Amino acid sequence: MKLHLPLLSVAAAVVLALTVSGCGGAAEAGQANQAGNEVTELRYQGSANNVTFPELAADLGYLGDLKLNWVGNTTSGPQDIQSAATNQTDFGGAFSGAVVKLIEAGAPVKAVTNYYGSDEKTFSGYYVKADSTIKEPRDLIGKKIAVNTLGAHHEAVINTWLTKNGLSQDEIKQVQLVPLAPNDTEEAIRRGQVDAGTLGGVLQDRAIEAGGLRSLFSDVELFGTFAGGQIVLRNDFIEKNPNTTRTFTTGVAKAIKWAAETPRDEVIARFTKIIESRGRNESTANLKFWKSPGVPDAGVIQDKDFTRWEAWLGSAGIVKDKLTPSKYYTNDFNELAAAKKG
């Protein structure tokens, strides 16, 4: 039976990450690298009823001889990258701010490709009841907003939106963020348990179709098309497995490009085949709501993918000085990035 990996605090993740790195443990995912002896199987966490871009890359043949070893489903982005940092898995993905937080805490990981984001078809919206008195940012002072987790994408988006609309940090602190499972958010808004809530994907589509809710704003209205998070690998893994890292990273980038350029029906059919063939007792019902990959530029990372959140990262105490994006990522292993430069 596959089990969820344990959720670790950032501090615990860093201690474990430094320990396994110091002992050379992670390289043993494929033994200490000798010439031509690199890891050919990568452990990872998936997402129930969904197809990740690494899974799509493997199915499309973009990973060559590399194999993916599913060890369970992730509970959150921060948990996913902590698991990679502590050598429970070989890669993980999370919101850019969570990547910064983990690296600033000392975890030896590096982002190699973007893997999620927002565009005009796929985005996160922030909704209130249609008859709500909340009309503008300042109306949220003293109110409750449902988010899937604290310290991640939605908190950063909300904080940035409120800041850009003139609220002080003291006023923003009076806007209460309530962690709530996404499946429960719509009903919580309708019942008045929260004043506003975050909806995306199929949950957003169903809520809009049902009527009675009104969009307050969306992340794509705030930023335009943007990348929201990155896949990370451990530094020692990258050092000891450069060819594997290149094949994996470029394969994921190609999968993102494929999803962006392939007719929607074909993408959904491919996702359906992947889910039905892997035997995890999942549903494919929500795949019909898939619209776009939401990831710009085939996963190529830019400084702005991190600097976009600089004010929030500073207000949250995650970074003390000016942000240095180059600390957090590299495009060296994404061959599509090199092609774009050329």
Per-residue model confidence as pLDDT tens digits over 82-94? 999 999 999 999 9
- Residue 157, pLDDT > 60, answer yes
Tokens standing for residue 301: 């990372």
Asked, colleague to colleague, whether 10-119+225-341 and 124-223 share their fold, the answer is yes
Q: 191-223 burial, b if ≥16 CB within 10 A, otherwise e?
A: eeebbbbbbbbbbbeebbeeeebeebbbbbebb
Average pLDDT rounded to a whole number, residues 324-340? 92
DSSP 5: P
241 burial type by CB count under 10 A (0-12 exposed, 13-18 middle, 19+ buried): buried
Task: Name the residue with higher pLDDT: 237 or 320.
Answer: 237
Mean pLDDT of 71-88: 93
pLDDT of residue 342: 53
Domain 124-223 fold: D-Maltodextrin-Binding Protein; domain 2 (3.40.190)
Average pLDDT over residues 198-220: 94
- pLDDT over 70 (residue 135): yes
- Closest Cα partner for 56 from 226, 225, 277, 334? 277
Higher pLDDT, 286 or 298: 298
The answer, yes or no, to whether residue 7 has pLDDT greater than 80, is no
Q: Is the pLDDT of residue 19 over 70?
A: no
Domain ranges of the chain: 10-119+225-341, 124-223
Cβ contact 159:312 at 8 Å = yes
d(CA 337, CA 120): 23
Residue 308 DSSP symbol = T
pLDDT at 32 over 80: no
Residue 36 has pLDDT above 80, yes or no: no
Which sign, positive or negative, has the C-alpha torsion 95, 97, 98, 103? positive
Return the half-sphere exposure (C-beta side, CA atoms, 13 A cut-off) of residue 259: 32
pLDDT cut 70: percent of the chain above it: 89
Q: What angle do CA 299, 300, 303 make, to 5 degrees?
A: 125
Q: Is residue 252 within a helix (H) or strand (E), and if so which, with residue range?
A: helix 242-261
Alpha-carbon gap, residue 46 to 304, rounded angstroms: 27
* 168 vs 9, residue with greater confidence: 168
Question: Are the beta carbons of 201 and 286 closer than 8 angstroms?
Answer: yes
> Are 161 and 92 a contacting pair, CB within 8 Å?
no
**Residues in Cβ contact with 68 at an 8 Å cutoff, skipping those fewer than 6 apart:** 41, 42, 44, 54, 55, 58
pLDDT band at 63 (very low <50, low <70, confident <90, very high): very high
Confidence of residue 201 (pLDDT cuts 50, 70, 90): confident
What confidence score (pLDDT) does residue 34 get? 52
Is the pLDDT assigned to residue 207 strictly greater than 60?
A: yes
Contact 169, 253 (CB under 8 A): no
pLDDT tens-digit series, residues 221-258: 999 999 999 999 999 999 999 999 999 999 999 999 99
Q: What pLDDT is recorded for position 140?
A: 98
Q: Assess whether pLDDT exceeds 60 at residue 18.
A: no
Question: Which stretches does DSSP call E strand in 136-221?
Answer: 144-147, 176-179, 196-200, 213-218
User: What are the backbone angles phi and psi of residue 262, rounded to the nearest 5°?
Assistant: -90, 140
More confident residue, 176 or 78: 176
What local confidence, expressed as pLDDT, does residue 286 receive?
86
pLDDT at 14 over 60: no
DSSP structural state of residue 7: P
**DSSP assignment string, 64-103:** TT-EEEEEEE-S-HHHHHHHHHTTSSSEEEEEHHHHHHHH
Q: Decide if pLDDT at 290 tops 60.
A: yes
Give the start-end residues of each E strand in 191-262.
Answer: 196-200, 213-218, 226-234
- Cα–Cα distance for residue pair 334/299, rounded to 1 Å: 8
Kind of pairing, strands 144-147 and 176-179?
parallel
Pair of tokens at residue 155: 């908190």
Q: Average the pLDDT over 67-76 and give the result.
A: 93
The second-level CATH assignment, the architecture, of 10-119+225-341 is: 3-Layer(aba) Sandwich (3.40)
Query: What are the C-alpha distances in Å from 22 to residues 18, 145, 233, 238, 239?
Result: 6, 42, 16, 15, 14
Least confident of 28-32, 71-75, 104-108, 323-327: 28-32
